[in-house]
Structure 1
Amino acid sequence: MTTTVTPAPPETTHGAVQRRLLRLAGVLTARPKTVLAVWAVVIAVCFPFASQLNDVLTKQGASKVVPGTSSARADQLVEQSFPDRSQRESIVAIGAPDVRGEQLRKLLAELDGRIAGKERTGEVRQSVSAYTLYRDSTTEYLRQLRTQVDRDLTAAGAGTSPEGRRQAVDAAVAAGQVPAGLADLAQRGVAADDAALPGLAAGFAAATDWRSFPVPVPADAVNRLLAEDGRAALVTVSFAKQAGHDPDVDWLRSAIDGSLRAVGAGPDVDAHVTGELALIKDTYKKAEDDNALMETVAYAIIFVVLLLFFRAVVPAVLTVAAIGLAMTVSQAALFALGHGVTLTQFTITIMNFVMLGAGVDYSMLLSSRYRQERLAGRPPKEAAVHATAHAGESMLLAAVAVVLAFGATLLSPVDWIPPLGYGGLIGIPIVLLAALTLTPALLVLLGDRFFALGWRPLSDLEHESALGRHLARAADLARRRKVAIVLVFAVITVPFAVITAQHRSTADPVALSPATDSKAGFELVAEKWGDAAVLPTLVVTRPPAGVVDPATHRLTASGLGSVTALTDRLAAVPGVARVSAVTRPFGSPLPADQVDALTADVRRDYLADDGALRIVVELADPPYSEAAVATVDRIQDVTEGAKDVGALQVGGATQVDRQYGNALNASFWQMIGLVSVGVFVMLVVALRSLLIPVRLILTIMMSNVWAIGITVLIFHFWLDRAIIDDLPIFLTVLMMGLGMDYEIFLVTRVRDLVRGGADQESATIGAVVDTGRVINAAGLVMAGSLGTMVLSSTVMLQEYGAGLGLAVLLDATLIRMLFVPATLLLFRRYNWWLPSLRRAPAVAEAGPR
């Protein structure tokens, strides 16, 4: 049997919150033009600042290095002592049929010349390529040759005139001491001064075939810059601090394009800029470019839902316009905040979509309540006042829940999470203020014309529409099958919980990044040299006295023994492919005399002038795999036993990811605990119930588990994509705020009907019908708004959008329309049980069923 529900008469206002809102609504509706004028002035003032918001956004995002960890200490030491090898290093990956050919030699020389301009301005510290390696080796050879010639001439009692030097070179060539291919260069080199030698060497390095290069160059060093098959080359570019927080990676790309044109390179030569700087910057740029499409689709979805909900054009247009104007104020506030905290493009993305969803929710609830008040016979102004008082309490509670959720993100030790929280913390209060002020003012000024250009917009849509009848049947099903419904929902949750708990996730920036120039470059490097060439593990320390000679910047005899023993043990660790250090700069151990003879540039890669040591450990397995984590554990065991070298810090991609994951999990439970306690206290005070807040939190968790499980099924099992490791925390924290809206809308309506004298059963069924249409429409709006993130080319936003969209949709339909009514009817009087506080609303019980 289907229960027929008739509209309940408007109840009187109860509670301190509603009384305060009633007074506020009275003030606002008495001066609606003033309200609109104030908003107009505020928006006019904010617009110039909002338009500058992009100026305070970081293009590199926030680091995943967790403060206080070994990876953070390693990162700090590398930044201080080895800035050329810090996160500010970018890699140019060049693919070509033959990177040793003349055209590619000229390309690398041309690119080096362009980069040299930035070196002179101090923006780039250094650039290293096969070309610079051959050039510098040639320069050093010429310098040593001239020194040797001068020594021999002096010993023979001859003068060191240019002519004498040239004759000495001729004799050395004739004796086979100088290769014939170097005769001309050597003649010019011994006759030139020091300043001219690099130029001579540069021309020779660009013109001479590297496969038969007459100057000795370390083969291991060449292999790090030229692929074994001769089809790829690397150029490393280290940006200095003078380049700012966001080094100009795009300038480097422009330099590459200019170099390609200058040497007439064909389409078979391609070059990419990669590395951490470029990967993050490209991902953020893609996200920024995608925003226009996502927002356009979101507005289209919202407008269609609003048209269907209101059955009128004017309220749909006014609602979207009001939220758009509120966004201008929020963006101006973020601009001010951005001068003191880190904000990213994702801050704006999340803020905009949350404001869209929540703002429409609030506007629909208030407008719908106004229409109900008008149908109950109240005049327009009085209807606006009462609608603001009753709907405003639900809106206020929902907004506080969202603010609590976003506020909890600021406590996370993981740097990238707080920037997301700032968007919600600023956006939600502003959009709530707009809904509580602009909407009532418009309702008073326009009256029933607010619903103009529509089809029967002031009819009883909650009870007379097809959806209203469907909701009545759903509520009746919840009444008749409450136990079965609760059990079915619990059973369905189990497999999704298993999937959620066991799914593999990653923070791999490459796997999660969109198709960009930097990703293509990384894939080229990984194909030719392996992932570890870009994402190695680092062991760094500032050794105690006695390990390094501060005068010569060389290892002492005891230090050489200690470092050699440490690197040998590291190289023997299962899972380690290669170890590079000052004792083995090219991967293989060197004799002590060769270690002492290393050039300053090679030595400084591993032993800084300030005495810091850097050891590069390349893993045999992908850096984000479980095998790599196990290898890093074994590396840590080795480092902990090497106290004679100092306090060794282990960093690098694998260690950062592992420690980031640990911090993420710890902060997840801290944030969930904080939000749960905050929401629980707020709802206990507002609703005077212990059971309803507990059930609300559990149902949010249920919708999250379902949404995460479905997202994993879609992206991992169907699309075979990586699952971002912070999806559960992002989804749960946001849904702890956003998902509260629908529960609060429903439960506050139940409470108001109970206060008006209805029994629990009638109040529950009546509330489902009264609020179901708003909740369903609000869920569609929120799911549509957040769900448009799946249109992003960034995997992270795609998964966020899918997870949030699914969670909101499930929460607003199945869970709120079936599960929640079933539990309300199952617990009856215990819903409002609150011991030792002021007596809760009297509940009139229906007879036994």
Structure 2
Amino acid sequence: MTDTPTTSGATGTVRVPSPPAPSTGPPARSPVQRALFRLAEGLARRPKTVIAVWAVLIALCTPVAGQLHSVLDDQGASKVVPGTTSARADELTKRAFPQRSEREVTVVAEATEAHGPELRGLLAGLDARLAGPLRSGEVRSTASAFTLYRDATAALLGGVREQARERGDTAAERRAYVDAEVAAGRVPAALASTARTAVEAASRQELTRLAGDFTVATDWRDFPVAVPGGAAARLLSQDGGTALVSVAYAADGHGDPDVEGLRTSVRELAGDRDGVTVHVTGELALIHDTYAKAEADNALMESVAYVIIFVVLLVFFRALVPAILTLAVVGLSMSVSQAALYGLGQQVTLTQFTVTIMQFVMLGAGVDYSMLLSSRYRQERLAGRPPREAAVHATVHAGESMLLAAVAVALAFGATLLSPVDWIPPLGYGGLLGIPIVLAAALTLTPCLLVLLGDRFFALGRGALTDLEHEGAMGRHLLRMAHFARRRKVAIVVVFLVVTAPLALLVAGNRSTSDPVALSPVTDARQGFETLAGEWGDSAALPTTVLGPAAPGVVRDGALTDEGRAAVARFTERLAATDGVASVDSATQPFGTPWTGGQAAAGQAFLTDHVARDGTLRFVVVLADDPYSAAAADTLDRLRDTVRETDAGVGDLVVGGATEVDLQYGAALRSSFWQMVALVSLGVFVMLVITLRSLFVPVRLIATIMLSNVWAIGLTVLIFHHWRGEVVIDDLPIFLTVLMMGLGMDYEIFLVTRVRDLARAGASQEEATVNAVVDTGRVINAAGLVMAGSLGTMALSSTLMLQEYGAGLGLAVLLDATVIRMLFVPATLLLLGRYNWWLPSLRRRGGKRRTADAR
């Protein structure tokens, strides 16, 4: 051991370790280090060639990276879990009732003058604009209060025209027939003038136009033509101030629904109408707007992240050039990763969140890697090595930590691809591609810059090449913390475990959600949905559905048979009688109240949402409680029992809808969470056992990461749920835990490998641990600030999901790099002592030598 100078601090005389002395032994001891030594020697021989290769690669990738946005899916991945009943219900809906599938977009129109002409004119104008997409097949169907009243009027006018033409050959005779029908009360008096014109209509289109003009001009409160009971109430609010327009887009050959195009049309129509506001909402519109908002937020988040990181780098290096070069290495490598992501996007679903996660993880991890390497170079130079040799040794020793950490992160992101729900994998692709690329950049470009520039890498600074780890207040503070951990190791472990227990209970007891509305930012789609839910209720806006193929004899040619009508009516009554159900729509009561056989025959067009041509039945169940509440979940249990106990004469039915999707998605997340954690833990364990030659260090490392995750998730729940009153996204625990299994490894691996190296050099376990905390503490704290600053800026997003991701990841990294890594980890290392490096199979072959090394 080298002698350690002493200095006086606030608490007395403390020992400050000297920089590491040059090693006279071989430059590498493990297979990983030997491979890194060969790489470093190759880089040192041809640094300009390596930089030139990267420059060409970046130049080629930049134009491709600019096309990344074109492969992003702005409608998002579904949260329906494959293989579940809700997945079957979703497929049945898409096939048999496409007008009620996820491709249904809803226009919400509000007018300050209830029942006024402005709203009627808006709906008529929108119907005219949608005529083209209807003809082209882009839109399958539309429905609004305007089309409801117009079509009823057109049907009446059509019947009058046919009768008039049968009764008279001349225009005068046909008009006389109309007058007689008006006098007899069979044609409403208000419709007399329009009917006289309609009997001379040359085509069905002209008849529809006349009906439309009459519908716009007539107050719907006293509309003279009857429409099916309850139909208007589903499309027009009770006060007449809010109207809905359903636009069902075709699924095949037309790409994603043109949400922005529809929004532009309705805004243009509303622009010259006083007191009219419009919104476009629906499941896909909510996701579309959320992604658009997230993309717009990226510029702010990136700017703040770069500022935070740049300031931390300036403070860490005390020089301008290394701060600029470090950011440049990471920033330029992003164009390569974006180009790779563009290629991947040709084969799999990617979203804006894929890019966001990739950028911030690359930024944090890449800067950390470059900091570790350049910091180690500075230590090697202070130990007396010449610049080229210092760069090689830094690449070998820091590179091992970087490589192990990157593999852990890649394992974590790779595990997300195994998730059974479509929402998770797109978040993992970015990290799985970005981490290896940013590692390659940090592990090749940074050493080449160090070889070429030497100490000029730290130019434009003050004292950049001094012993920053061991001199000054930071070194003294770290040494005091290390000695405190040595003296109070048992107490520290107990305190950490005691603090963890209530946070774990808080996390376990929190009810999370996948509610797309609560998790979306304030957008046009959310405002429209809130208006819709305010008028018709949350459960009506997000209903439960029961559907499936009808039993033989229930449906014939798309209509219920007499036997089928009786069976469906009985089943509808049983559904409605289930505790917690507010109302049920079905083929026997399409608007919540039973229809007679005559009404069903006359209103067959209104039953297409409940009976498909292929014989599929659909029941719409409105729950009495919020669809994402615990009470709604209990109602679903009772509803499933009702469906299972139903007479088989109705059909093979399954339960679907928002509540069922949420419950099954949550169950799948919990199941996949433990599978992914087990997979990542096993991969990390095997990797660290092989590289660190220890059994207990990997186990303790994984347990430490779990502890920091519990703290971070618990604090996130406290902040968002208990303080701000927000819901907590159910993806948070799985995403935070799996990512921190990778990202949190950086700091412990860097610390533990330093302990191992000092122990191999002859230090006791206690000396090695204390000195390693001082040697690595400054760079670990700075790296933690960089990672927390990068990931934490996602909390600035207007999207609640990214806010919670940013807060959770930022807190986890910050806690992990500071109090946990500086107190809890040294305490546990000191408690285990020489057993840190115990490995049974190796101990039998060389126990004495390694025991001596460990001491």
- Length-normalised TM-score, structure 2: 0.96
Deviation at 1:844, TM superposition (A): 4.3
Q: Deviations over 1:314-355 (max 9, x none)?
A: 010000001011100000000000000010111111111110
- Counterpart of 2:238 (choices 199, 221, 228) is 228
Work out whether 1:139 is the aligned partner of 2:154: yes
The match for 1:83 is: 98
- 1:513 Cα deviation from its structure 2 partner: 1.0
**Which of 601, 606, 613 pairs up with 2:610?**
606
Superposition pairs of residues 154-303 of structure 1, within 5 angstroms: 159-195=168-204, 196-241=206-251, 244-261=254-271, 264-266=272-274, 268-303=275-310
- Say if 1:99 and 1:233, in contact at 8 Å, map to a contact too: no
What does residue range 360-759 of structure 1 map to in structure 2 within 5 Å?
Answer: 360-550=367-557, 553-600=558-605, 602-642=606-646, 643-759=648-764
Greater shift, 100-109 or 189-198, is seen at: 189-198
Post-superposition shift, 1:149? 4.2
Decide whether the 8 Å contact of 1:757 with 1:843 is kept in 2: no
Q: Which residue of 1 aligns with 2:82?
A: 67
Would you say 1:7 and 2:12 are equivalent positions? no
Structure 2: distance between partners of 1:349 and 1:274: 24
Listed as ranges, the matches of 1:100-139 within 5 Å are 100-139=115-154
Structure 1 residue 845, shift from structure 2 partner: 8.5
Distance of 2:69 and 2:450 partners within structure 1: 35
Whichever residue aligns with residue 150 of structure 2, its letter is R
Amino acid across the alignment from 2:438: V
Query: Closer, same or farther in 2 for the Cα pair 1:88/1:232, shift >3 Å?
Result: same
* CA distance, structure 2, for counterparts of residue 689 and residue 160 of structure 1: 102
CA displacement 1:75-125 (0-9 Å, x = unmatched): 111111111111111111112223421121111111111122222222111
Deviation at 1:170, TM superposition (A): 1.5
Q: Deviations over 1:516-559 (max 9, x none)?
A: 11111111111111012321111111123211113xx2111221
Task: Among all aligned residue pairs of Structure 1 and Structure 2, give the percentage whose two residues are the same amino acid.
Answer: 66
Q: CA deviation at 1:243?
A: 6.9
Q: CA deviation at 1:144?
A: 2.2
Aligned residues: 835
Distance in 1 separating the partners of 2:810 and 2:703: 19
Q: Over residues 222-241 of structure 1, what are the superposed CA-to-partner deviations in whole Å (9 max), with x where a residue is unaligned?
A: 11111112221111111112
Q: After alignment, is 213-222 or 666-675 more displaced?
A: 213-222
Residues 258-291 of structure 1 show CA distances to partners (whole Å, capped at 9, x for unaligned) of 1113xx312x321111111111111111100000
Partner deviation per Cα, 1:803-829 (whole Å, 9 max, x = no partner)? 100000000001111111111111101
Matched, 1:842 2:842: no
Code of the residue aligned with 1:294 in structure 2: it is: M
Q: Which amino acid aligns with 2:196?
A: Q
Bigger mean CA offset, 581-590 vs 117-126: 117-126
What amino acid sits opposite 1:720 in the alignment? G
| Corresponding residue for residue 822 of structure 1 | 827
Query: Which deviates more, 141-150 or 402-411?
Result: 141-150
- Tell me the distance in 1 between the aligned counterparts of 2:429 and 2:369: 21
Q: Deviations over 1:284-314 (max 9, x none)?
A: 1110000000000000011111111111100
| TM-score relative to the length of structure 1 | 0.96
Partner of 2:107: 92
Query: In structure 2, what is the Cα distance between the partners aligned to 1:421 and 1:294?
Result: 20
**What secondary structure, in the 3-state scheme, does the structure 2 residue paired with 1:270 have?**
strand
Q: Give the superposition deviation at 1:161.
A: 4.3
Query: 1:721-742 deviations in whole A, cap 9, x for unaligned?
Result: 1111111111100000000000
| Aligned-residue CA RMSD (Å) | 1.5
Question: Shift of the alpha carbon at 1:177?
Answer: 2.7
Gaps of 5+ in 1: 154-158
| 1:843, distance to aligned residue in structure 2 (A) | 4.2
Distance 1:422 1:734 in 2: 12
CA displacement at 1:20 relative to structure 2: 1.1
Which stretch shifts more, 71-80 or 98-107?
98-107
Partner amino acid for 1:260? A
Secondary structure (helix, strand or coil) at the match of 2:470 reads: helix
Q: Which blocks of at least 5 consecutive residues in structure 2 are unaligned?
A: 1-12
For 1:115 and 1:338, how far apart are their aligned partners in 2?
Answer: 32
Q: Any idea what SS the aligned residue of 1:584 has?
A: coil
Q: Is the 8 A contact 1:758 1:844 kept in 2?
A: no
Moved more, 224-233 or 405-414: 224-233
- C-alpha deviation, 1:593, in angstroms: 2.8
What CA deviation, in whole Å up to 9, does each residue of 1:448-480 have, x standing for no partner?
Answer: 100000101111111113111111111111111
| SS of structure 2 residue aligned to 1:241 | coil
Q: 1:755 to 1:846 in 2, by over 3 A?
A: closer
- CA displacement 1:187-242 (0-9 Å, x = unmatched): 12223244221111011111111112111122411111111122211111111125
SS of aligned partner of 1:341: coil
Following the alignment from structure 2 to structure 1, what is the Cα–Cα distance between the partners of residues 438 and 134? 48
* Correspondence for 1:22 among 37, 40, 49: 37
* 8 Å Cα contact 2:14/2:476 also seen in 1: no
SS of 1:775 mapped into structure 2? helix
Aligned to 1:802: 807
